[in-house]
A = this chain, B = another copy of it.
Amino acid sequence: MIIILKPGISRKQENAVTSEIRKRGYRPHIMRGVARTVIGAIGDELTHQSLETLAMLFPQVVESITPVQKRYKLISREAHPENSTVKVGAHFIGGKKLHVMAGPCSVESEKQLLKTAHAVKAAGATVLRGGAFKPRTSPYEFQGLGERALKLLAKARKETGLAVITELLSENHAELVAEYADILQIGARNSQNFQLLIAAAKTGKPILLKRGLSMKIEEWLLAGEYVLSNENCSLMFCERGIRTFETYTRNTLDLSTIPIIKKESHCPIVIDPSQGAGRADLVKAMCRGAVAMGADALLIEVHPEPAKAWSDGTQQVSLEVFAELMRELRPLILASGRE
């Protein structure tokens, strides 16, 4: 911890601070600068009591306090210098092959789901997405088909060989969803629902953790740390757009998260351009950028008839557009050194 004192502090005031620092198990180290004095508090910040409250204890003396150590451990690149990969069925996400997860926002019917599954499989996807339990802003909107949807997803997996990803909304559903799904998705609204993260981690299933609407990188990494510290290391981060002042798009897709997550962590990074822009007409361009910047996977909403979708119709692409997108991405994937 670095404690910066205000200008013009007496030796007596300084001693009061250093004595408190010692009491909390740190060794104070004083540097007298030209304008101010700075104290380094030497000791392990992760095991000792925090010093941040010194500013309160000595409001006339202490200007600011800065931690020196990072707050996350298991999730950090330092802890695991190689890329980690997540095994999903026969596939490894985070390796050389770029994966595409695709499917409808909500599972609506057997026909809708199977038609989509066959089409996205044919176009090259390896994972089928589909909402069974839906978190909806209004209580009067369609809340998902629940367990019936899970069963349809399992049927689609059996028919197509695609792995299945679906959202987990409630601690009480963790066992149930884990029984049917290959990847548990934690949505943006639950990204700091730590009880849910722990429940999901404990199922042992791979987890895709979406970034919260106004989540800082450090908070996202720490939410991931909840998963790894509960003995589950199959974690993927998923950027899906953050909330800004801009209203042209539903969210602002922050593609800089791709190099940032790769730098700070060893876990794979997935991009969701559908939620990110909230507009089907921007999905293709977003996918192109994500691929070129090194995303490990894409998560794309696809629907046989987007205009008739029961939820989020404006951001889902049709089966034809999806097939076209997959064809167009191919040269870019190769030019980016992926498969």
Interface residues of A (CB under 8 A from B): 2, 4, 7, 29, 31-36, 38, 40, 42-46, 50, 52-57, 59, 66, 68-69, 71-73, 78, 135-140, 169-172, 189-190, 192-196, 212-214, 216-219, 222-223, 225-226, 229-230, 242-249, 252-256, 258-260, 263, 276-277, 280-282, 284-286, 288-294, 306-309, 313-314, 316, 331-332, 334-336
Contacts and interface: CB of A to CB of B under 8 A. Distances in A.
A138 B225 contact: yes
B44 A35 contact: yes
A333 B12 CA distance: 42
B42 A33 contact: yes
A21 to B, nearest CB: 12
B258 A255 contact: no
Contacts of A193: 189-190, 193, 196
Given A54-B307, A138-B71, A313-B52, A256 B245 contact: no
23 contacts: A29-B31, A32-B42, A38-B40, A56-B280, A71-B140, A139-B230, A140-B229, A170-B171, A172-B195, A189-B192, A213-B213, A216-B247, A217-B246, A242-B244, A242-B246, A245-B245, A249-B260, A252-B252, A253-B256, A258-B285, A259-B282, A286-B293, A289-B293
A223 B69 CA distance: 34
Contact of A2 (B38, B53, B169, B219): B38
A151 B44 CA distance: 34
Contacts of A57: 307
A101 to B, nearest CB: 20
A35 B69 contact: yes
A50 B34 CA distance: 15
A298 to B, nearest CB: 13
A323 to B, nearest CB: 17
A263 B281 contact: yes
A48 B8 CA distance: 21
A302 to B, nearest CB: 13
Contacts of A291: 292
Which 9 pairs across A and B sit closest by C-beta, in order of nearness? A53-B313, A292-B292, A57-B307, A214-B214, A335-B335, A289-B289, A259-B285, A31-B40, A189-B192
A245 B216 contact: yes
A67 to B, nearest CB: 10
A230 B140 CA distance: 12
Q: Which of A78, A229, A254, A277 has the most CB of B within 10 A?
A: A254
